[in-house]
Structure 1
Amino acid sequence: MTEVDLQRLKEKLLRQRQEIFTSLRDLEAEWEVLGERDIEPEDAAQKAALTSLFDQMDTREKDRIEEIDLALTKMESASYGTCEECHKPISLQRLESLPATRFCIKCAGKQEEIH
């Protein structure tokens, strides 16, 4: 992987990270609006469902930020792009598609089988 490739991937990760923060900020604003509304009894179930959805989205987005931060840390330590399982290089094509990935395509398939 060239320095140009690495820089392009870093910029992509930073953009994704910013988009997630924006999404979380918007989600929090929506949650505040929902919390301020007077809820009718028939809306209570809908509010409970939305609360669950917001919690799931919040957790998923925070997990994505952690994955991105790990990838950025690996870039700084020159270990970015190496599969955590087999320790072989992850293809540039895969990194272009999933810049925060920790596994090559083969090992990612094994991970999915396990989970």
Structure 2
Amino acid sequence: MHIIETSGLTRDDGRILDNIEGAAYGAGVSLIFEDTDTVGAGPRLHQHPYAETFIIRAGRATFTVGDEQLIGEAGHLLVVPAWTPHKFAVLGPERYVATHIHASDEFITEWLED
């Protein structure tokens, strides 16, 4: 068993982000803990060779998943299939708080936008 202390590091843009790769702990998943009130915050278009699940606990964001665009909000769980281009942008004004679960013990990301 592992107990992992997350650091809650704050970036220059005010985003709080912790990343945990499961390989270091014998876990088959990797996690991103996202917490921000910066409108527009979010990653540029990318894809993974595995599914990514978003558990949104607070706030809202516009998600682009393949050719579809939708609003994800508190209480939603979104699953993006493997090899599906996706990105999101926080809508605000409330904080976006979410856990992103990568179905891999390491992060593998192909960036599709500069």
TMscore range, shorter length: under 0.3
- TM-score, normalised relative to structure 2: 0.22
- TM-score, normalised relative to structure 1: 0.22
Structure with more of its chain in strand, by fraction? 2
